[in-house]
Chain A
Amino acid sequence: MTSYVQRQEKAKFGEDRDAEMRLKNNRLGMTIFQASWIMVFLALIVVNWQLRFSYAQWPPEGVAPFDPLLPSAATLALILSALLARRGWQALRLGKLGVFLMSWRLNMALGVVFMAIILVEFTVVSEAALATQYGVTMRLMTGFHLAHALAIMAVMLRVYRQAGRGSYSGDPRDSWPVEGAVKLWYFVTVAWLMFYVVLYWLR
């Protein structure tokens, strides 16, 4: 699949050394940024983990554990959303702008569903939980993640509008904003998966 896409691109756009170098730099830079910034999320997991030892049990006594049902649905929505973002990007690379726009409408809709559910989870933490680090670290992690998801959703929205105006040909060398947004959304997904497991399943 990829090699086919690449061949298509070569045939369509020819060679441009500077643009290729820029793309190569952007891709490597994005990878390193992802590896780096995921460490903040790991740091917050360390926080959650170490604070568990302040209590005899986790969740602390008298605190009801979080119900994983809604967050699981949100997680599913987020994964689907990321897959759709990827599908849209693949379509754009083949020049199918219509498929891209449709996938991304769905992708962003699912992303909003995810954020809405997590916002609800963030808001309705019980008083008992908030009196302990169980609730506070949960708010810290979901809030921190939501802030990132929101920012990157804004980026995706902007990219979507630009794409609608035909700013991106689908050649990776001049469509970096699309590829970058997709990769940032992957980042949001991976970061959430880690948080999801730590918050809702590791007791």
Chain B
Amino acid sequence: MATQHEAETVRRPALSEYLRWSVDHKIIGVQYGVAAFLFFMVGGAMAMGIRLELWTPTLDLMASGSAYNSLFTMHGTVMIFLFIIPMWAAFGNFVVPLQLGAKDMAFPWLNAFAFWLIPPAAIVILLGYFVTPAEAGWTSYPPLSTLFSGDGQTLWALGAHLLGISSIMGSINFIVTILNMRPPQMIIWTMPLLCWAVLATSIIAVMATPFLAGALTLLLLDRVAGTTFFDASGGGDVLLWQNIFWFYSHPAVYIMVLPGMGVLSEVLSIHCRKPVFGYRMVGLSSMGIAFVGFTVWAHHMFTSLQPELRIPFMITTMIIAVPTGIKMFSWLGTIWGGKMRFTSALLFALGFMSMFVIGGITGVMLAALPFDIHVHDTYFVVSHFHFVLFGGSVFAIYAALYHWFPKVTGRMMNERLGRIHFVFTYFGFLFTFFPMHIVGMLGMPRRVAVYDPNFTDWNQFISFWAFVLGFSTFIVVYNVIHSYFRGPVAGANPWRALTLEWATTSPPPVTNFDDDPIPFEDPYGYGTEASAAYLDAVDAAFSGGRPTPDGNQAD
């Protein structure tokens, strides 16, 4: 701890609070966040292992191809199910009730339960390393995952099942909170856009995740009870899994990226001091993406589906580009003419736009069926979804971290370190993943430990920058730990933002607000006298940013 004096100026829950069962959404949010970030480090270490193995075109680091297969299987599983999805639950949990001026989520107990399903699920999945770990990829296509895999695959399915249930419970909670617990002054059209995004995400999660539960049930029955749902010699169908699995897992991509889009709208508007351009269309396009997202799943099956069924899915997939484009242009409209302050949060938000657009362009390319046939299941696809999920989700997660860290901990992050972190992440990411497009087109399939020696130079280039990207993570870890203890005291509203989470102390008291807060009429109405007056009033109410001494007593 820094100095006694500094430590005392911010009243925070004791660290032990975070290790216990708690029904306070703020504690649960931090629990989600820290756990998810730990899994990010685990998954990242696995990615480093993957890149190390790919330094040479032969199998040398790993004991066998199976060991390599289990490595990327676990990398995908950990990153998707244990990092990105819980990470958004972290920000959703902490921020959404505050933005709505609510005291807590609608179902606090259910909220805690949903979180505490995650550690056992993670343990079950990683226990696979004590038997034969899952090695059929995170997509686990049968019959590789049924007839040709070890017990780790069963554990994987059980763990994924628990995580799915956790996700459904969390999402029901979000929808009810957002629809029911807004203050009377806040209609749905003056709701912050993060809430819109979380609402759309949760609708996808509650409608799609049950399909994953169904698919995993069948997989478990095939593995354990001797049924033959996916075994053709018993009348089963291997494509059945692909249909049901992708009916969940394609929308799951939007589960992972839509909250990031909500974060972008918040961060860009606040740090550029300008209202969100076309608020309604930004909110509605989230719903549009959610809706169309349910009709595109079979583009993951372009090389296995009957040829005549491929065309309709090509068309729906391309349509997704339209609402995504609306968001992108609206964000440009938001920053255009604004007063940009290069905070780390804004840098990562701009980084999101810069990288996500590449993922969007390659997404349309992949939707074009004849071209997809060539690059399906190659490094082009690996590159594409990392541009969406790293260039998109992870950049947005970092933006959200720098943006809301002061609210969570009461202290600011170090901006200089934040900028260094951004530079390393941006270039590390770009040079790691952009060349993957090229090796993919040239003929390198995904999920291989042994590849054509012609691609060695490309892969060494990629691996080098992957290590740079891996290193960048330590900068933010150091920044978080350092700032938690020594960062400057943030005050209630360091960014002068209009949404309600900033109209209380940092961190907020147990009941969030001392009385029922009244939201400003327009959550992004920057630049007007009324908003300036409101912000000054907020500053005054929290005595220049110092929390009131009695607002914060835990227990």
Contacts and interface: CB of A to CB of B under 8 A. Distances in A.
A21 B236 contact: no
B210 interface: yes
Interface stretch (A4-12, A40-48, A82-90, A98-106): A40-48
Contact of B176 (A29, A40, A137): A29
Contact of A36 (B210, B234, B236, B243): B210
A82 to B, nearest CB: 22
A28 interface: yes
Contacts of A140: 218, 221, 227, 229
B248 to A, nearest CB: 9
B243 A50 contact: yes
Nearest to A60: B235
A2 B171 CA distance: 30
A55 B215 CA distance: 21
Contacts of A21: 180-181
B232 to A, nearest CB: 7
Interface residues of A, number: 30
Contacts of A42: 210-211
Interface in B204-253: 206-211, 213-215, 217-218, 221, 227-229, 232, 234-237, 239-240, 243-244, 247
B213 A35 contact: no
Contact of B206 (A35, A136, A137): A35
B106 interface: yes
Interface residues of B, number: 36
Given A40-B213, A43-B214, A47-B214, A54 B235 contact: yes
Q: Which of A47, A53, A55, A140 has the most CB of B within 10 A?
A: A47
Contacts of A144: 217
Contact of B107 (A29, A36, A44): A29
A175 interface: no
A35 B208 CA distance: 11
Contact of A25 (B171, B180, B239): B180
Contact of B106 (A25, A43, A137): A25
Contact of A32 (B176, B213, B229, B243): B176
Given A32-B175, A32-B176, A39-B211, A51 B235 contact: yes
A40 B33 CA distance: 29
A28 B180 contact: yes
B107 A54 contact: no
B227 A40 contact: no
A24 interface: yes
Given A33-B172, A37-B210, A47-B214, A24 B180 contact: yes
A43 B172 CA distance: 19
Given A21-B181, A25-B107, A28-B179, A36 B172 contact: yes
| Most chain B CB neighbours (cut-off 10 Å) among A35, A39, A137 | A39
B237 A53 contact: yes
A166 B555 CA distance: 33
A42 B208 CA distance: 11
7 closest residue pairs by CB, A with B? A43-B214, A39-B210, A36-B206, A40-B210, A25-B106, A133-B235, A43-B211
Given A29-B107, A46-B214, 11 more contacts: A28-B175, A29-B106, A29-B173, A29-B176, A32-B172, A33-B206, A36-B209, A39-B208, A43-B211, A43-B214, A54-B236
Interface of B: 106-107, 168, 171-173, 175-176, 179-181, 206-211, 213-215, 217-218, 221, 227-229, 232, 234-237, 239-240, 243-244, 247
